Amino acid sequence: MHARSFLCALLVVAGVDALTQDIARQPLPRIESRPAPSQTQSHDQPAPGARSPRNANYSIDVRLDHAARTLAGRETIQWRNISSQTATELQFHLYWNAWRNADSTWMRERRLAGTRTAPRPDAWSSCDVSVVRVAGVDVTSRKRFIAPDDGNTADQTVMSVPLDTPVGPNGSVQIELEWTAKIPRPFARTGYIDDYYVVVQWFPKLGVLADYGWNTHQFHAATEFYADYGIYDVSMTVPNGWTLGASGREVTKSANTDGTTTHRYRGEDIHDFAWTTSARFLEARQTFEHPELPRVEMRLLYQPEHSAQVQRHFDATAATLKYYGEWFGAYPYGHITIVDPAYQSGSGGMEYPTLFTAGTRWLSPRSVTQPEAVTVHEAGHQFWYVVGNNEFEHAWMDEGLNTYSTARAIAAGAFPNYLSTRFFGGFIPWVFMEVPLSRETEGNRLAGYRAVAESDIQSTPTFRYWPGSAGAITYNKTALWLNTLENHLGWPTLQKALSTYFARWSFRHPQPDDFFTVLNEVSGQDLTWFFNEVHRSSNAFDYGVQEFSSERLERASASGATYRTIVVAQRLGEAFFPVEVVTTFRDGERITERWDGRDRRQVYVYERGAEAVSTEIDPRRTLLLDVDYTNNSRTLEPRAGEASLKWALTWMVWMQDLMLTYGFFA
């Protein structure tokens, strides 16, 4: 194995430079001095100290042509088959082809979701592979596009290349690719504006070979990515003097004679690699320290107009490293890069291994969690990225877990968090200091869920959700059901389950049932009934008071009671959950009933000496998924003051719906 890899590495060096000159007109940095990963270590076994299988290792050289808005790249992949399946072909994602024509699956889905505006003529992108060599053999002419999800022949986001020599379980192969790419004006947080670049999902990238075959989905509008873990050794050549940030750590930086600088980064045990560069970035660094967690070097690349908010970015990132670290497990990389995106770049709020984009505004009051909410969310993704789920099929496993964790960390960090709105084109914020935003409802995004609660069965592969409501089922519903489970089991139990899941599935690819197994195991309960409702059905929860009366008896009962109170609790939604029904009497007594919530209704009759004044279903709001909480309670004496308060609250909920609609981020 060693011998063959070494031979191939030599062949690449011989073949690459001539072709690249042809493409970019300027030579890329020479790579002879840089050993391919195969020459320094075996890939048949994970290297000592490896946390992941490291079966997909990328060595990439890429040059940015700022004037032409293009990339020219070449890469060598050392791939090992860790499935039980023999590979007879290779499959690659070419994500930027999603924005090369209006009929790609991504563009079609975006139109279904309601976005009708046509991109600017200079917005389109492309990824054109010019050379493919497998084990040293040029197979370029045999590459073809496939569309495994929908058969869309206009979609070029998945490329297949046959293997003349199949690669059996634990077998390895070296693949070399050369390509050019047109950088988009931002689509899906990817691309350039002026001299600011966010270069993500930018290189030809292998799908994941599973025991049942390749898992290489087309690029979809509402879902993200999936890949195996490995080492990324990436050299990026950009104009001199520009600041660059990337996944991993910078290893070397060298100025070239042609006015460019080559930054070489290395990241280990990651499943993707992203980078950003700009002439305008300012840079700040701080260190996260904690008595029981490893140190993390935090690097912030920020826009000059946001210099007053530098510390807020660090505080939010540090809070994430602290709370997620204490609750789920330690952040394993020792470094993290926070990118404050350029104004109107459309690139804020997105996570990549060890690097993420946040997002703020020029004026951002301290009582509003901007930039904190997006910073905690994207920093938090780093933890659920360590657990490598399939984001095409089970996006809830990272976005949902992370929305829940974000809301919890924002509350634990006691960041001031009030309702706000913006005027004058979004420049001037106005904060409603009377309206604090709560973790349970706003943090878990209840309003967005309520509007589309039954739109999809969560266990459907995410890329097949209705694009217009996929976010609510992925993010909001999961956050609400996890918080409901926390209320039901208690935080210590749920925390132990989440940390067990994190430890067991780090650097692996868990399926939904793996998550449910851990929850059952740690809680000591069979929670299948709950997962059936929240995950394997599209049923909604809604409990309400159907009838409530308390009437004086014509004559006292044998026990001396003078009032008969009747409470009828009703299950209006298809889904069930155990709830409390609490009735309060004029003498101050409260009676709490525990209803399993399964029948359509439950009748309670009380004969007592006092008249009832109110009844309420789930007054502690354990069931956060209840889509209509306003029907959960009834009082017998209408009180003008309370009624107006209720209307005011309804108005606030409406306002919050509006805010949440605008507040949606990845």
Nearer to Zn ion, 300 or 666 (CB): 666
Q: Interface with Zn ion includes 407 (CB under 5 A)?
A: no
Nearest residue to Zn ion by CB is 666
Q: Interface with Zn ion includes 387 (CB under 5 A)?
A: no
Contact 58, 49 (CB under 8 A): no
DSSP-derived secondary structure for 98-112: GGSSTTSHHHHHHHH
Task: State how far Cα 85 lies from the chain centre.
Answer: 29
Number of amino acids touching Zn ion (CB under 5 A): 2
What is the smallest separation between the CB atom of 248 and Zn ion, expressed in angstroms? 21
Nearer to Zn ion, 277 or 357 (CB): 357
What is the smallest separation between the CB atom of 201 and Zn ion, expressed in angstroms? 15
- In DSSP terms, 179 is beta-bridged to 73, 129
Map residue 525 onto helix, strand or coil.
coil
Stretch of 89-97, 195-203, 221-229, 391-399 lying at the interface with Zn ion (CB under 5 A): 391-399
What is the smallest separation between the CB atom of 98 and Zn ion, expressed in angstroms? 19
Nearer to Zn ion, 519 or 666 (CB): 666
Nearer to Zn ion, 400 or 413 (CB): 400
Nearer to Zn ion, 627 or 666 (CB): 666
CA pair distance 104, 156, nearest whole angstrom: 7
Instruction: List phi, psi (to 5°) of 88.
Output: -110, -5
What sign does the dihedral 651-654-658-663 (CA atoms) show?
A: positive
> In Å, what is the CA distance from 38 to each residue of 4, 214, 216?
10, 24, 25
Nearer to Zn ion, 248 or 348 (CB): 348
Per-residue tokens: 608:
């007592």
Contact 253, 288 (CB under 8 A): no
Stretch of 115-123, 457-465, 634-642, 658-666 lying at the interface with Zn ion (CB under 5 A): 658-666
Stretch of 162-170, 258-266, 393-401, 585-593 lying at the interface with Zn ion (CB under 5 A): 393-401
DSSP annotation of 616 reads: E
What is the smallest separation between the CB atom of 381 and Zn ion, expressed in angstroms? 5
Per-residue tokens: 380:
């938090």
What is the smallest separation between the CB atom of 407 and Zn ion, expressed in angstroms? 12
- CA nearest 553: which of 634, 619, 607? 607
Nearer to Zn ion, 90 or 666 (CB): 666
Residue with tokens 């002439």: 279
Q: Interface with Zn ion includes 199 (CB under 5 A)?
A: no
Contact 133, 176 (CB under 8 A): yes
* Binding residues among 459-478 for Zn ion as defined by CB under 5 A: none
Q: Interface with Zn ion includes 379 (CB under 5 A)?
A: no
Stretch of 49-57, 178-186, 316-324, 399-407 lying at the interface with Zn ion (CB under 5 A): 399-407
* Binding residues among 333-352 for Zn ion as defined by CB under 5 A: none
Q: Interface with Zn ion includes 666 (CB under 5 A)?
A: yes
Q: Interface with Zn ion includes 358 (CB under 5 A)?
A: no
> In Å, what is the CA distance from 320 to each residue of 328, 378, 410, 475, 480?
11, 9, 9, 18, 20
Nearer to Zn ion, 579 or 666 (CB): 666
Integer Rg of the chain from CA: 28
Contact positions toward Zn ion, by CB under 5 A? 399, 666
